[in-house]
Amino acid sequence: MTLLPNPANLNCPLPHGDRTTVQLAHGGGGSLMAQLIEQLFLPAFNNEWLNTRQDGAVFAPPGARLALTTDSYVVQPLFFPGGDIGKLAVYGTVNDLAMCGARPCYLSVGFILEEGLPMATLAQVVQSMQAAAQETGVQLVTGDTKVVDRGKGDGIFINTTGIGAIESATVNIAPNQVQPGDAILLSGDLGRHGMAIMAVREGLSFDSPILSDCAPLAAPVQALLQAGITVHCLRDLTRGGLASALVEIAEAAGIQLAIDERQIPVQAEVRGACEFLGLDPLYVANEGRFIAFVPAAEADRAVAILRDQAPGGNAQRIGQVVGAASPALVTLTSQIGVSRVVTRLSGEQLPRIC
């Protein structure tokens, strides 16, 4: 893939054409920083808040309850099959808001740039963020840029922090809301994001390339809520994958969960790549997949909604909440029908996946 965008495809001009890389002075509060803001960020993220030139954005509360969430993105490589760090930085935070049952509204953006970063790379990332923001209906209303010395960063790190609105007073989504008997739903097939990144890093190629599942999740969650599904808990399956999400929720709620691996969709290419690299798809990171805990009586209806609305299109009911347990426990019935305990990995299979 190319890191140099065709300038004809950019909606915003590159700042000061004679300077093709980021310099320390771009973070210094002087005229180069002002140029970067005026010529790159403001045209791309154009909105009333940025145009006030204040150090913050002011707005009316978008809902009776708000959700606030933050994530920093340090993924390598910056561009990967199916996405890039800019898209990830918008979707990822939008998705964390969605997991609170919130409609995403406003994002802040903090860039930490490494001296020497090609300005064209930054412009491409900014374009990608703006496209993702438009797609998901969020406004990038305030931002900050720091530049660190060459060798003290890694191209681009991005923090996004999001505010969302929880529209309904009855929404109460958290691990401690999970009930014995709840069905556990998986929104789509596992492992694409992690394996797409891994394939690039390891120089693997497949007959059909694995594309990241990187996608926004607010729409399927809002669809569940608007259909009146009693959503008890949601979690997107990023670092640590499905296994870690299940263990975290089980521990936070003090419960036993049982899932059936035979119900978990994994693309053939992803399964093959995992086998080749000795990885378990249950632990591989996803960037557009989540689990939902809902009452068993509502599970079929919820799965139908997710199949229609969630990225992947292959949502499944994968297990249920057995009941209170101390210590907490997650069990899995394997492909060959054997039951085993699912634990957290000590670290992660793939560093810097997001």
**Sign (positive/negative) of CA torsion 95, 98, 102, 103?**
positive
- Is residue 207 close enough to count as binding a second copy by CB under 8 A? no
Quote the least distance from Cβ 234 to a second copy, whole Å: 9
Q: In the complex with a second copy, which residue's Cβ is closer, 9 or 170?
A: 170
Quote the least distance from Cβ 332 to a second copy, whole Å: 17
Interface pick for a second copy out of 20, 137, 152, 313 (rule CB under 8 A): 152
- Is residue 344 close enough to count as binding a second copy by CB under 8 A? yes
DSSP structural state of residue 39? I
Which span (50-58, 185-193, 217-225, 305-313) binds a second copy, by CB under 8 A?
50-58
Q: In the complex with a second copy, which residue's Cβ is closer, 236 or 260?
A: 236
- Is residue 137 close enough to count as binding a second copy by CB under 8 A? no
Question: What is the distance between the alpha carbons of residues 349 and 336, in angstroms, rounded to a whole number?
Answer: 24
- Is residue 56 close enough to count as binding a second copy by CB under 8 A? yes
Interface pick for a second copy out of 7, 13, 61, 228 (rule CB under 8 A): 61
Closest to 328 measured CA to CA, from 246, 212, 215, 228: 246
Mark 175-194 with x for binding to a second copy (rule: CB under 8 A) and - for no binding: xx------------------
Closest to 233 measured CA to CA, from 327, 137, 320: 320
Interface pick for a second copy out of 21, 39, 47, 72 (rule CB under 8 A): 72
Which span (119-127, 139-147, 256-264, 331-339) binds a second copy, by CB under 8 A?
139-147
Which span (64-72, 223-231, 265-273, 318-326) binds a second copy, by CB under 8 A?
64-72
Q: How far apart are the first and last CA of the chain?
A: 19
- By the 8 A CB rule, do 246 and 190 touch? no
Give the total of residues touching a second copy (CB under 8 A). Answer: 85
Closest to 301 measured CA to CA, from 200, 231, 198: 231
Give the DSSP per-residue string, 310-343: STTS--EEEEEEEEE-SS-EEEEE-TTS-EEE--
Interface pick for a second copy out of 182, 236, 260, 298 (rule CB under 8 A): 236
Within a 10 A sphere around the Cβ of 243, how many other Cβ atoms?
22
Quote the least distance from Cβ 52 to a second copy, whole Å: 5
- By the 8 A CB rule, do 191 and 266 touch? yes
Interface pick for a second copy out of 141, 178, 183, 264 (rule CB under 8 A): 141
Q: In the complex with a second copy, which residue's Cβ is closer, 307 or 348?
A: 348
DSSP structural state of residue 5? -
Within a 10 A sphere around the Cβ of 232, how many other Cβ atoms?
22
Element (H, E) at 127: helix 119-136
Taking CB under 8 A as the criterion, which residues in 270-299 touch a second copy? Answer: 285
Residues paired with residue 142 on neighbouring β-strands, in sequence order: 108
